[in-house]
Chain A
Amino acid sequence: MTIRIALAQIAPYLGLPDRNRDLHLEQAERARAEGAELLVFPELSLTGYLLKDMVPDLALRPDAPALAPLLEASRMLDLVVGFVEEGPDYRHYNSLAYLAEGRVVHVHRKVYLPTYGMFEEQRYFTAGDSLRAFPTRFGRLALAVCEDIWHPSLPYLAFMDGALGLLVGSASPLRGADRAPGDDLPSNAAFWDRLLRHYAGIYAGWVAFCNRCGVEDGTSFWGGSRLVGPDGGLVAEAPLHEPALLVGELDPAALRRRRQAFSAVRDERPEVAFRGLERILRDRAAGVEAP
């Protein structure tokens, strides 16, 4: 029995959550009509990306009434949506929520907020401080937001925590329109593609990457959402720079077979990494220089 997953490569309206909610519901209807059981939206899909001073005005608690129609839709199919989360102490997070059967199953707060070049997320958001896998009707899954997976520790944690798959919501912009000879993708997208395939392959898991499209203040988001199978091979990919609803099949039996043939996850010894990190942190705290 395979899992039918859909990725909504949309261009959210910037700062118009009501219109975005309608866009989400419309995508959920379409995905359901195509037989999808799980639908993933991009980073900040309910608000748009380049929010700046809008962040506090758009922030929601996960139990906010504004999310009720999406919770209702999650009785039809599981949903992953991006939103500005307000914590109980009024801090704001760039979060993804997993919604199923009318409930908020899990919220992941973006751990790595890019603040370099054109990015200034730390100015507006508080960083999350954990990543954990959680149970779903498809098995354990984990969520990550865009820059999170440019840090290898987070996919590592997800798969050590028993995840079968990592669902990534992104708002990755075009930054450099150059393309290496022989590559199908521009350089930034090609790097992402290698990264996603690497994690899926090395952990013998699924990686679903839903990247937004559209333009905000001149910045174009490149789309190119993709599903990668447990052998690191591409299952499905959406076009660049245009809206799409990408639907693909994930096969748990194939993942099971892959994990038998390829034992990296089984043989991984997180205690080695743990002890090593403890030692490194101790040395850093004590000011010990690396030899």
Chain B
Amino acid sequence: MSDPFAATDYHLVRKVLTEFLRSEVRRTGMERGILGLSGGLDSSLVAFLAAEALGPDRVTGVAMPYRTSSPESLAHARLVAEATGIELVEIEITPMVDAYFADRPDADGLRRGNKMARERMSILYDLSAARRALVLGTSNKSELYLGYGTAFGDLASAVNPIGDLYKSEVRRLSRLLGVPEAIVAKPPSADLWAGQSDEAELGFAYEDVDPLLRLMLDERLGEAELAAAGWDPAFVRRIAEMIRRSQFKRRLPVIAKLSRRTADLDFLYPRDWGT
């Protein structure tokens, strides 16, 4: 199958995304951006884009390792801060997370991972207020549609420059912006423990699922057409179900409608209202 992401104009994407960040940050009345810098590819790319859009002196990356995080992750976060010239703040989340779970020893990995993601979100939003810096999102399109993210955790942000780029495109754009190759080439990981890998957890590689997601989401091919194009129907069904089940993560909370105008339903104003 030919590479569906080769036709993307990455130079154009770079220009659009830097303009997006400048425009959407400044119209909130802020000049600065802040993001969680995990040492992974998505947040590294957002750091490079933000440094280019806002200027490195107006961007803060926050590395928030837990005791089981890979030491390589912190090293990579430092590498990105050094390469972009942005400020790096390091805050270890082990004390807060461990304090909470001290009385809940039976909590499983999912609960622990979600707690860590929300702990990081909570720190980012606190520093956002302290520095008058807008929280920049770092979730890519593949994760957003597969639901591979924590609601009100890593999915929380004010503006997200890469939410419409598949992981395969994130990788290509990262190379164009000069993200260090050690980061571009390593396997994606939520880094909840050393050696964790997204692809082992999901059971497939982004490079394999992204072309399917593109056909399903962007081209709107149906299951019969996908089967005719050679996609395994069981795999297609599984992905379709992941998309459906994670729809809530892509929407605001549902409000019970009572009045004539209800937030997000028939009280319809843009986010950028009056700016």
A14 and B13 within 8 A (CB): no
Q: Beyond the given A15-B275, A177-B9, A218-B20, please list 13 additional residue pairs across the A-B interface where CB-CB is below 8 A.
A: A11-B23, A14-B270, A50-B270, A50-B272, A53-B268, A174-B16, A177-B8, A179-B7, A179-B12, A181-B7, A186-B9, A214-B23, A215-B20
Q: Is A75 at the interface (CB under 8 A from chain B)?
A: no
Chain A residues positioned under 8 Å from B13 (CB to CB): 177
CB distance from A244 to the nearest CB of B (A): 14
CB distance from A33 to the nearest CB of B (A): 27
- Chain A residues touching B, majority SS: loop
A53 and B274 within 8 A (CB): no
B8 and A178 within 8 A (CB): yes
Chain A residues positioned under 8 Å from B15 (CB to CB): 240-241
A218 and B269 within 8 A (CB): no
Q: Is B223 at the interface (CB under 8 A from chain A)?
A: no
Chain B residues positioned under 8 Å from A14 (CB to CB): 270, 272-275
Interface size class of B (residues with CB under 8 A): 20 to 34
B8 and A52 within 8 A (CB): no
B19 and A241 within 8 A (CB): yes
Q: Is B159 at the interface (CB under 8 A from chain A)?
A: yes
B7 and A220 within 8 A (CB): no
B23 and A186 within 8 A (CB): no
Instruction: Enumerate the 9 nearest inter-chain pairs by beta-carbon distance, A residue then B residue, closest first.
Output: A178-B7, A215-B23, A52-B268, A179-B9, A50-B270, A217-B270, A53-B268, A15-B274, A220-B16
A218 and B159 within 8 A (CB): yes
A240 and B12 within 8 A (CB): yes
Interchain CA distance A174-B269 in the complex, whole Å = 21
Chain A residues positioned under 8 Å from B274 (CB to CB): 14-16
Interface centre among B8, B12, B23, B274 (most CB of A within 10 A): B12
- The residues in B between 2 and 49 inclusive whose CB is less than 8 angstroms from any CB of A are 7-9, 12-13, 15-16, 19-20, 23-24
- The residues in B between 105 and 126 inclusive whose CB is less than 8 angstroms from any CB of A are none
B20's nearest neighbour on chain A, judged by CB, is A215
Q: Is A216 at the interface (CB under 8 A from chain B)?
A: yes
Interchain CA distance A180-B270 in the complex, whole Å = 32
Q: Is B104 at the interface (CB under 8 A from chain A)?
A: no
CB distance from B5 to the nearest CB of A (A): 9
- Can you list 16 A-B pairs with a CB-CB distance of less than 8 A? A11-B23, A14-B272, A14-B273, A14-B274, A14-B275, A16-B274, A52-B268, A52-B270, A53-B269, A180-B7, A181-B7, A214-B23, A216-B272, A220-B16, A240-B12, A241-B12
Q: Is B257 at the interface (CB under 8 A from chain A)?
A: no
Interchain CA distance A4-B98 in the complex, whole Å = 71
A217 and B272 within 8 A (CB): yes
Q: Is B186 at the interface (CB under 8 A from chain A)?
A: no
A217 and B271 within 8 A (CB): yes
B269 and A52 within 8 A (CB): yes
Q: Is A98 at the interface (CB under 8 A from chain B)?
A: no
Chain B residues positioned under 8 Å from A15 (CB to CB): 270, 273-275
Interface centre among A11, A15, A54, A177 (most CB of B within 10 A): A177
CB distance from B168 to the nearest CB of A (A): 13
CB distance from B33 to the nearest CB of A (A): 15
- The residues in B between 221 and 275 inclusive whose CB is less than 8 angstroms from any CB of A are 267-275
Known: A16-B274, A54-B269. A178 touches B19 (CB 8 A): no
Interchain CA distance A215-B18 in the complex, whole Å = 11
Q: Is A37 at the interface (CB under 8 A from chain B)?
A: no
- The residues in A between 28 and 65 inclusive whose CB is less than 8 angstroms from any CB of B are 50-54
Known: A218-B159, A220-B19. A186 touches B12 (CB 8 A): yes
CB distance from B66 to the nearest CB of A (A): 32
A242's nearest neighbour on chain B, judged by CB, is B19
Q: Is A112 at the interface (CB under 8 A from chain B)?
A: no
Residue from A13, A177, A179 within 8 A of B275 (CB atoms): A13
Chain A residues positioned under 8 Å from B9 (CB to CB): 177-179, 186
B273 and A54 within 8 A (CB): yes
Chain B residues positioned under 8 Å from A16 (CB to CB): 274-275
Interchain CA distance A16-B159 in the complex, whole Å = 22
Known: A178-B8, A179-B9, A241-B19. A215 touches B24 (CB 8 A): yes
Mark contacts of A8-32 with chain B using CB atoms, 8 A cut-off: 1 yes-contact digit, 0 otherwise. 0001011110000000000000000
Interchain CA distance A186-B14 in the complex, whole Å = 13
Mark contacts of B155-170 with chain A using CB atoms, 8 A cut-off: 1 yes-contact digit, 0 otherwise. 0000100000000000
CB distance from B218 to the nearest CB of A (A): 8
Interchain CA distance A16-B275 in the complex, whole Å = 7
Chain B residues positioned under 8 Å from A214 (CB to CB): 23
Interchain CA distance A202-B11 in the complex, whole Å = 34
Chain A residues positioned under 8 Å from B268 (CB to CB): 52-53
Interchain CA distance A223-B153 in the complex, whole Å = 36
Interchain CA distance A172-B259 in the complex, whole Å = 35
Residue from B7, B16, B24, B272 within 8 A of A241 (CB atoms): B16
B12 and A177 within 8 A (CB): yes
Residue from B19, B159, B267, B270 within 8 A of A216 (CB atoms): B270
Chain A residues positioned under 8 Å from B23 (CB to CB): 11, 214-215
Chain A residues positioned under 8 Å from B19 (CB to CB): 215, 220, 241-242
A220 and B20 within 8 A (CB): yes
A239's nearest neighbour on chain B, judged by CB, is B15
